[in-house]
Amino acid sequence: MECTNADLAVMEMSLGHVVASAVVEVYARGELIKKRRALMDAWGLFVTGQGGADSA
C-alpha cells in the first residue's frame, strides 16, 4: 500500500481477499478487470526490475 496508488479494493480483489459484507458484495458485482490488469502489469515490471516502486 505504501508503494502504489492503486485502490484498496483493486489490491484486495487481486489477492483474492474477501473483505466486504454481504450488502457491499451485492452492489460491487464488477470484477475491476482493467484496474486489476494495470496493477498486475505494474507488479510484473517491479519484480523484474523494469519499473519503480510507484509504477502502479
For 2-26, how does the pLDDT look when each residue is reduced to its tens digit (9 = 90+)? 778 888 888 888 887 776 677 776 6
pLDDT attached to residue 13: 80
**In Å, what is the CA distance from 23 to each residue of 1, 20, 29, 39, 56?**
25, 8, 11, 26, 29
End-to-end CA distance of the chain: 10
pTM for the complete prediction?
A: 0.62
Please give the pLDDT value at position 44: 93
Tell whether the model's pLDDT for residue 54 goes beyond 70.
no
| Phi, then psi, of 8 in degrees rounded to 5 | -60, -40
- For 14, phi and psi rounded to 5 degrees? -65, -30
